[in-house]
Amino acid sequence: MCGIVGYVGERDALPIILQSLKRIEYRGYDSAGIACITNNGIEVYKDKGKVDDVIEKINYLKSISSNTGMGHCRWATHGAPSKTNAHPHLDGEGGIAVVHNGIIENFQSLKEELLSLGCTFVSETDTEVIPHLINHCLKNSGDVEWELKEAVKETLSRLIGSYAIIVAAKGFDGLVAARKESPLIIGVGDRENFIASDVPAVLEQTNRVIYLDEGDLAVVKNDSVYIENGGAEVKRAERLIPWTIEDAEKGGYEHFMLKEIHEEPKAITDTLRGYLAGDEITLGIDLGIEGDTKGKSILMLACGTSYYAALCGKHIIENLAKVPVQLEFASEFNYSDFVLDGANVTVMAITQSGETADTLMALKKAKRYGCKTVAITNVVGSSATRIADETIYTGAGPEIGVAATKSFVAQLVIFYLLGLQKSLAKLPEAAFLEYLEELRRMPQIAQLVLDEANGNIQKQARYLSKYEHAFFVGRGVNLPIALEGALKLKEISYIHAEGYAAGELKHGPFALLTEDTPVVAIVTHQPFKKSLIKSATQASQNVYEKMLGNVKEIKARGAPVIAIAEEGDEEVEKYVDAVVRVPRTSAIFSPIPNTVALHLLAYWAAKERGCEIDKPRNLAKSVTVE
Ligand code: G6P
């Protein structure tokens, strides 16, 4: 997984490329490089290291006079992070430069073929076969642009795998770009054009964006963008991106993650805004489970944080709409003999980026079963939206921190809307309206956690940060939130954290409980309003008592307990070492304040440990490889 950028225009290419690279370094940050076309040929600079460090070296070393160039930030897949494995890669004669995001699966056989033709390879990457192949496909016709385009096409026809590439060639004042299963956009400017893996890379320059489609090949010059697909010219619509560059920047916070946690109330508001008109929920799509839902069900497919959001969504939708929901990791679904009744199952792919390779593959597989498919994503025009029959967008705005935060709560909001929309036929109207009223309060509820619990959470995080192991436990609709809390803590603070169903601890993990394994317990399950108590199931009313029972069992094994509990719950204080207070809500909505609290807890613990919060080791924001 990597980030690629390109510039063609009348201005100095290098500073623009470096600035764009900084905006998408979250896509890969183990090495970086640039290539610029000059009067003398192609100048390349690349190195191992963080994008910032490489950029600093380039700024120090290079003053390149060029109006056309490209850049790359790498997240290694083939070959360790190193100067030679960094992109751009060149052909043997140094006349063609390529940056690539994706994986060329048949690179080994292509490499052998090229070696037998006399090519010399310098890197261990799969990418390096591309410039060599392009060189071999050139015909020396004299028409550099036409020839390069045709050579790239011929090369792409030989590649198996995924790619977004930008190609530059000596003597051509433009760039050729192409994509297959990896994202690529074109930023449209005034007598200049930009190419990038993602919108934030171009936002400083333009908000006019063309999303390239699967299989598109584009020839980008300063005054034109020509696109073809399958050998014929195609027109792709230009979209106006409503985000400002401030949206995509840190806005005064030390880390994107903290900024993004503080944007959780806004993410809820903006997501609701899109789909709530008065008391009417207007998701505006055919879910395939309209009318009589008998025999119908939903299968959710997702990875990582989105999987935990989906698990919470299962509880929400089953509780409110009484429609059965199944859930699978996309990566498991892809390689299992799943029994799926295409006519009666709606498949929902939950993916904030819309680009996760496993999830996209799962969507395609679901379509082969004949299922209705719905993508729930945060990125307009992303690959998932183009595969699925229908799309529901979350309104979280750009999320830069590798650890997903505001996109997670925005996904939860969609599940509340879906559940409530489908609950209409099943709930008394008064209960429906009370739920809706509570849903509308969620931005304030999230804000209250940020305003009132943050100080105490920092204190608890300082305490937690001294340990190497922790458990997060919950039940019911808050089990997924415990899993999310543990995932967040482990990925950014490197504390080993396990999320567990509270009732399952006694079946193994009890053996690990000591005074050195703090347990964070979510104890927020009290039914709230009278009318909602009536509609709440007996099971969910019992969860609070059961959680208290579990907390007592944990304490009896000597482990310290931090409870996430509601304002006014004095009972819980008797059994735990510390309490993080969150506002009262009815049980079904408690995941929202609990999530905000656990996201903050993970953030402050990681900060205390001096971790690289926005770019945790070995991870990437959007995983576009299987
Ligand atoms: C990566 C990210 C996670 C994210 C997961 C799924 O692992 O680091 O934060 O939850 O991918 O991403 P998606 O874009 O499909 O939600």
How many helices (H) and strands (E) are present in the chain, helices listed first?
A: 18, 27
Backbone phi, psi, residue 269, to 5°: -55, -50
What's the 266 CA to ligand 1 centre distance in angstroms?
Answer: 21
Please give the pLDDT value at position 540: 54
Q: Which of 523, 475, 472 is nearest to 503 (CA)?
A: 475
pLDDT, average across residues 228-256: 85
Count of beta carbons in the 10 Å neighbourhood of residue 509: 18
- Collapsed DSSP state (helix, strand, coil) of residue 222: coil
Is 450-613 the same fold as 256-440? yes
Span 131-177, pLDDT tens digits: 999 999 998 778 899 999 999 999 999 999 889 999 999 999 999 99
Q: Does 394 sit in the ligand 1 pocket, CB within 6 Å?
A: no
Question: Is residue 529's pLDDT more than 80?
Answer: no
* DSSP H or E segment with residue 618: none
Q: Under CATH, which architecture does the 3-247 domain have? A: 4-Layer Sandwich (3.60)
Q: Does 404 sit in the ligand 1 pocket, CB within 6 Å?
A: yes
Give Dmax (Cα) for the chain.
84
* DSSP H or E segment with residue 573: none
Nearest-Å Rg of the Cα atoms of the chain is: 26
Count of beta carbons in the 10 Å neighbourhood of residue 138: 18
Please give the pLDDT value at position 531: 46
Q: Which two tokens stand for residue 197?
A: 């893996």
What's the 305 CA to ligand 1 centre distance in angstroms?
Answer: 6
Distance between CA atoms of residues 620 and 601, nearest Å: 21
pLDDT, average across residues 355-375: 96
Q: Which pLDDT band holds residue 541 (cuts at 50, 70, 90)?
A: low
**Angle at CA of residue 70, ends 75 and 221, nearest 5°:** 140
Q: Which of 418, 436, 438, 447 is nearest to 264 (CA)?
A: 447
Please give the pLDDT value at position 32: 95
Q: At what angle do helices 264-275 and 591-608 cross, to 10 degrees?
A: 150
In sequence order, what DSSP letters do the residues of 238-264 get, joined into one string?
EEE----TTTTS-TT-SSHHHHHHHTH
Q: In 373-496, which ranges are continuous DSSP H helix?
A: 383-387, 406-423, 429-448, 454-464, 479-493
Beta-bridged to residue 348, according to DSSP, are: 300, 374
Question: Is residue 537's pLDDT more than 60?
Answer: no
Q: Which of 477, 607, 592 is nearest to 543 (CA)?
A: 477
Beta-bridged to residue 45, according to DSSP, are: 34
Q: Which of 352, 355, 358 is nearest to 334 (CA)?
A: 358
Please give the pLDDT value at position 338: 86
Q: Which of 601, 599, 600, 603 is nearest to 616 (CA)?
A: 603
DSSP-derived pairing of the beta strands 469-474 and 185-188? unpaired
Q: Which of 441, 407, 403, 464 is nearest to 616 (CA)?
A: 403
Q: Does 303 sit in the ligand 1 pocket, CB within 6 Å?
A: yes
Query: Of the listed 2, 119, 137, 611, which one is catalytic?
Result: 2
Residue type, 63: S
pLDDT, average across residues 239-266: 84
Count of beta carbons in the 10 Å neighbourhood of residue 565: 28
Strands (DSSP E) contained in 478-600 are: 496-501, 519-522, 561-566, 578-582
Q: Which of 305, 301, 262, 264 is nearest to 402 (CA)?
A: 305
Distance between CA atoms of residues 51 and 33, nearest Å: 9
Residue of the CA atom closest to atom 13 of ligand 1: 351
Distance between CA atoms of residues 588 and 481, nearest Å: 12
Q: Does 361 sit in the ligand 1 pocket, CB within 6 Å?
A: no
User: Which atom in ligand 1 lies closest to the alpha carbon of residue 356?
Assistant: 15
Q: Which pLDDT band holds residue 526 (cuts at 50, 70, 90)?
A: low
Question: Is residue 619's pLDDT more than 90?
Answer: no
Please give the pLDDT value at position 527: 53
Please give the pLDDT value at position 116: 97
**Angle at CA of residue 541, ends 535 and 547, nearest 5°:** 150
Measure the CA dihedral 341/382/150/121, to 10°. -100
Half-sphere exposure (CA, 13 Å, Cβ side) for 445?
23
Count of beta carbons in the 10 Å neighbourhood of residue 587: 24
Q: How far is CA 502 from CA 482, 505, 586, in A?
A: 9, 6, 20
Q: Does 621 sit in the ligand 1 pocket, CB within 6 Å?
A: yes
Question: Is residue 62's pLDDT more than 90?
Answer: no
- 42-72 burial code (b ≥16 CB/10 A, e <16): bbbbbbbbbbeebbeebeeeeebebbbbbbb
User: How would you class 126 by CB atoms within 10 Å of its CB: exposed for 0-12, middle for 13-18, buried for 19 or more?
Assistant: buried
Distance between CA atoms of residues 543 and 292, nearest Å: 31
- Collapsed DSSP state (helix, strand, coil) of residue 397: coil
Query: Of the listed 372, 406, 490, 621, which one is catalytic?
Result: 621
Distance between CA atoms of residues 509 and 529, nearest Å: 36
Range in 207-211, 311-315, 420-424 the model is least confident about = 420-424
Question: Is residue 593's pLDDT more than 90?
Answer: yes
Decide if 119 is catalytic. no
Range in 55-69, 151-165, 302-316, 468-482 the model is least confident about = 55-69
User: Which atom in ligand 1 lies closest to the alpha carbon of residue 404?
Assistant: 9
Please give the pLDDT value at position 528: 43
Task: Please check whether the domain covering 256-440 is classified as CATH 3.40.50.10490.
Answer: yes
Kindly report the average pLDDT of the chain as a whole number.
Answer: 91
Pocket test for ligand 1, best of 75, 306, 329 (most atoms within 8 A of CB): 306
Range in 26-35, 326-335, 501-510, 520-529 the model is least confident about = 520-529
Distance between CA atoms of residues 354 and 352, nearest Å: 6
* DSSP H or E segment with residue 611: none
Question: Is residue 476's pLDDT more than 50?
Answer: yes
Please give the pLDDT value at position 463: 97
Distance between CA atoms of residues 32 and 51, nearest Å: 6
Question: Is residue 380's pLDDT more than 90?
Answer: no
Q: Which pLDDT band holds residue 530 (cuts at 50, 70, 90)?
A: very low
Q: Which of 343, 359, 363 is nearest to 295 (CA)?
A: 343
> Do the Cβ atoms of 520 and 472 come closer than 8 Å?
yes
Q: Does 383 sit in the ligand 1 pocket, CB within 6 Å?
A: no
Q: Does 403 sit in the ligand 1 pocket, CB within 6 Å?
A: yes
Q: What is the pTM of this model?
A: 0.77
Please give the pLDDT value at position 1: 60
Span 331-351, pLDDT tens digits: 999 999 888 998 999 999 999
Distance between CA atoms of residues 524 and 325, nearest Å: 24
Scanning the structure block, which residue is given the tokens 């992070």?
Answer: 81
Please give the pLDDT value at position 140: 79
Distance between CA atoms of residues 411 and 313, nearest Å: 8
Question: Is residue 28's pLDDT more than 90?
Answer: no
Q: Which pLDDT band holds residue 433 (cuts at 50, 70, 90)?
A: very high
Question: Is residue 422's pLDDT more than 70?
Answer: yes
Distance between CA atoms of residues 535 and 525, nearest Å: 14
Q: Which pLDDT band holds residue 6 (cuts at 50, 70, 90)?
A: very high
Higher pLDDT, 611 or 241: 611
Scanning the structure block, which residue is given the tokens 């920092």?
Answer: 458
| All structural domains of the chain with their residue ranges | 3-247, 256-440, 450-613
In sequence order, what DSSP letters do the residues of 103-149 get, joined into one string?
EETTHHHHHHHHHHTT----SS-STTHHHHHHHHH----S-HHHHHH
> Do the Cβ atoms of 218 and 226 come closer than 8 Å?
yes
Half-sphere exposure (CA, 13 Å, Cβ side) for 619?
21
Question: Is residue 494's pLDDT more than 60?
Answer: yes
Backbone phi, psi, residue 326, to 5°: -105, 165
Residue of the CA atom closest to atom 15 of ligand 1: 351
Tell me 224's DSSP state: E
Q: Which pLDDT band holds residue 535 (cuts at 50, 70, 90)?
A: very low
Q: Under CATH, which architecture does the 450-613 domain have? A: 3-Layer(aba) Sandwich (3.40)
Decide if 266 is catalytic. no
Please give the pLDDT value at position 557: 92
Q: Which of 132, 82, 137, 80 is nearest to 111 (CA)?
A: 132
Tell me 379's DSSP state: S
